[in-house]
Amino acid sequence: MAEKITYFYENWEFWTNVLGILVTAGLGFAVWFSTKTFNKNQSEIASHQLQKELFSEFNKRYDILNGYLEKITRYESLEHLMAKKPNKYLFLRNKLNDYFNLCAEEYYWLNKGRIDKNLWKSWEVGMNSWYDNHRIIREAWKEECDNFGYQSFYLKKGEQFFKKYKK
């Protein structure tokens, strides 16, 4: 037993160096792990904050457009709207474009991973309800796609955010 104690004391410098290396490695791992965890949490918080901001902004814009969509969908077609409201046609047509741009922005942020898929599904149901139930919206969307193309709405070839759209 005395030999073991003597061996330890004779190699004291070696053992303190080993202990120093182990402590340094342990502290390094602890710092790395806590930094990684902190950064992950901060990233999630920032992502949730951005989602909340997008949600609030998009809903605010939709709330403003909703009344105009109600007015627009009282008319069967763009031609009917022009005949009945020639002085308001361009204004209401621009509101339809604002709505399409809002839909496109929501779709863009979905594809960038900034909008939750469940939230998107809710918005998508609403978008398709307007599209499916109102000919004037289908007609205006087709005209937009024909005139400006899918790329002006952040869509790739063959992509659509209106399910029943047919070219």
pLDDT one-digit tens code per residue, 100-159: 999 999 999 999 998 989 999 999 999 999 999 999 999 999 999 888 887 888 888 888
pLDDT above 80: residue 12: no
Q: 150 or 70, which is more confident?
A: 70
pTM of the model: 0.76
Q: What is the pLDDT of residue 167?
A: 52
- Phi, then psi, of 122 in degrees rounded to 5: -65, -50
**Cβ proximity of 126 and 134 under 8 Å:** no
In the chain, what percentage of residues exceed pLDDT 90? 61
137/73 Cα distance (integer angstroms): 8
**For residue 13, what pLDDT is reported?**
83
Rounded CA separation 33/38 (Å): 9
Least reliable range by pLDDT among 68-77, 86-95, 116-125? 116-125
Angle of CA points 36, 119, 143, to nearest 5°: 125
For residue 18, the model assigns a pLDDT of 86
- Across residues 86-95, what is the average pLDDT? 96
